[in-house]
Amino acid sequence: MVAFVFPGQGAQYVGMGRDLYTAYPQSKEVFDKADKVLGFSISRLCFDGPLDLLTKTQNCQPAIFTVSIAALEVFKMRNVKYTAGLSLGEYSALTASGALSFEDGLRLVKKRAELMEAATKKYPGKMSAVLGLGREEVQEICLASGAEIANLNCPAQVVITGRIEAIEKAKQLALQKGAKRVIDLEVSGAFHSSLMKEAAEELNQQLKDYNIQDAAIPVISNVTARPQEKSPEIRENMVKQIHSPVLWEDSVRYIAAGGVKTFYEIGPGNILKGLIRKIDSSLAVINIGKAEDLANIKGQ
């Protein structure tokens, strides 16, 4: 038994997916379809950049989603017990599970990114990663500063989110408490915070126009760190996810407790591999993001 996991924002790099497009007709079809659905060449942006344009939330999220599904379309495997994704990556997981079509998944990712970007302009904020403190210590800091927890990524790595002044106060408190480092994230606003509630409400309205199916493979929810399979629950969690903490460490532990020892990280980069190894070093993580990764698997 294996699990498929999908990366979120931050995994992007210029050139991602180009080799998949060239090597595999299935991947080329995904990119061509994405360009048509979006009405502009997301493939060219993935392949050629520039990085500053690729990194913008409204481009980055559909780009990572497209590359992830382009790799998935080549890598067909049975005995997948669970799928999961980090924030944006949950949409890739839902598509892999059959809950969303690629086209609907892409349109929703684009809409989600636009709503999040609009919220950042209305309610400015930022995110920072706190390294070296436990979740309880970070929670105390959040209560004292007005910051919020955005991601429980792995032991001693907690991302905080919120208004700029709250994060700056939280950073000072974290260093006073003995944090090894506090790193500002290169994102445009306070994602996974209460500042995103209006975006969540708007997404809830948008979801009425989309066909969300029951999942053929259970998807571990960012919101609950438990499997979600039925369409109404998936829909509800998609709304909550925008303003709720991402329980990534808890999700990985749940998957591992279910007997899964091998994770396939499908999409650009290897951020999840690093996190998963810090959560449980006995777990194997195999990256499927480049043509050579797929060639190596097929050659085994």
Q: What digits encode the pLDDT tens for the residues 96-115?
A: 999 999 999 999 999 999 99
pLDDT over 80 (residue 189): yes
pLDDT attached to residue 298: 65
pLDDT over 60 (residue 300): no
Contact 97, 219 (CB under 8 A): yes
pLDDT attached to residue 299: 54
41 noted as active-site residue: no
Contact 199, 242 (CB under 8 A): yes
Task: Name the nearest CA neighbour of 88 among 161, 151, 38, 33.
Answer: 151
Percent pLDDT > 70 in the chain is 99
Q: How many helices (H) and strands (E) does the chain have?
A: 14, 10
pLDDT over 70 (residue 73): yes
**DSSP letter (8 states) at residue 70:** H
Residue type, position 94, single letter? L
Rounded CA gap, 171 and 149, in Å?
13
∠ CA 206-212-215, rounded to 5°: 145
Residue type, position 113, single letter? A
- Phi and psi dihedrals of 122, rounded to 5? -80, -40
Task: Answer left, alpha or beta for residue 10, where phi above 0 means left and psi between -120 and 50 means alpha.
Answer: left
| Catalytic residue from among 192, 221, 243, 244 | 192
Report if pTM > 0.85.
Answer: yes
Reduce the DSSP state of residue 235 to 3 states and report it.
helix
pLDDT attached to residue 142: 98
pLDDT attached to residue 296: 86
The stretch 134-149 carries a mean pLDDT of 97
Which residue has better confidence, 200 or 300?
200
Which residue, chain included where needed, has tokens 């007997």? Answer: 259
pLDDT attached to residue 72: 97
pLDDT attached to residue 178: 97
Q: Is 257 exposed, middle or buried (0-12, 13-18, 19+ CB in 10 A)?
A: exposed
**Looking at the chain, which runs of residues are DSSP E strands?**
2-6, 80-85, 126-131, 148-154, 157-162, 181-184, 219-220, 227-228, 262-266, 284-288
87 noted as active-site residue: yes
Task: Name the nearest CA neighbour of 73 among 15, 113, 34, 112.
Answer: 34
pLDDT over 60 (residue 159): yes
pLDDT in tens, 225-261: 999 999 999 999 999 999 999 999 999 999 999 999 9
The stretch 118-133 carries a mean pLDDT of 96
Rounded CA gap, 248 and 133, in Å?
16
Rounded CA gap, 161 and 170, in Å?
10
End-to-end CA distance of the chain: 18
| Catalytic residue from among 27, 43, 68, 87 | 87
Q: Taking all residues of the chain, what is their mean pLDDT, rounded to a whole number? A: 96
